[in-house]
Amino acid sequence: MKRLIIGLLAVAALTCSSAALAEGTKTVSGQLSGESEWQPPFIRTTAWTIHGTYTSDALGSGTYSGALATNHDVVDASVEAPAGCFAAFLVPCQSPRFAVTGSVTFTSDKGASITGTVAPGSWVVEADAFPSTGYTFDLTLELSGGTRRFKHLTGSLSLSYQSQDQIGIGCGFDCGKNLDFGTLTGSIGH
């Protein structure tokens, strides 16, 4: 009888710890909207300073800022269209996928912050259709270095992010700006 009671207590403890672990993991979904500065500023950009606001079910809302960079190391050349176009200048083109490095920091409205470091395998594509240029990023962010309510937060987020220059007729007050938006997904835990 004693063994039966000990066994039942052990099963109950395992069940409770599994439930607590499941409660400690949250799914993240959210949206980002902002602007960026490009270096060089128009085409063949190698560095982006990004900033704006975010809203998320699990992270709340607040601001984001970060720095992204590429040295144009090709991750996937099969997406370049037409083939070999990135070697030409001012030709309509979608570049190969280039490796990206950097980090993005999310700061909640209440001052908690967490940094996501861009993981290997993340990429950026440049799309040129003169007179417009845009960049599409597919980033995996490994979370670390949180403060306040994000202090013990861990996890991995996927950020699908786009930055598009605003030029030409009809851009109004946004002429000359690089407008950005993105979708954030993933999971976090404590």
Q: Give residue limits of the domains in the chain.
A: 28-189
Q: Could you give phi then psi for residue 178, rounded to 5 degrees?
A: -110, 105
Whole-number Å distance between alpha carbons of 77 and 42: 22
The more confidently predicted of residues 107 and 172 is 107
**pTM of the prediction?**
0.83
Q: Which of 181, 166, 168 is nearest to 41 (CA)?
A: 166
User: 28-189 sits in which CATH class?
Assistant: mainly beta
pLDDT per residue as tens digits for the range 117-161: 999 999 999 998 767 789 999 999 999 879 999 999 999 999 999
Asked if 90 contacts 114 with a C-beta cutoff of 8 angstroms, the reply is no
Tokens, residue 60: 């709340």
Tokens, residue 57: 């079910």
Residue type, 159: L
Report the mean per-residue pLDDT for the chain: 86
In the predicted structure, residue 9 carries a pLDDT above the cut 60: no
Reported as a pLDDT band with limits 50, 70 and 90, residue 60 is: very high
Whole-number Å distance between alpha carbons of 41 and 25: 40
Tokens, residue 6: 């000990």
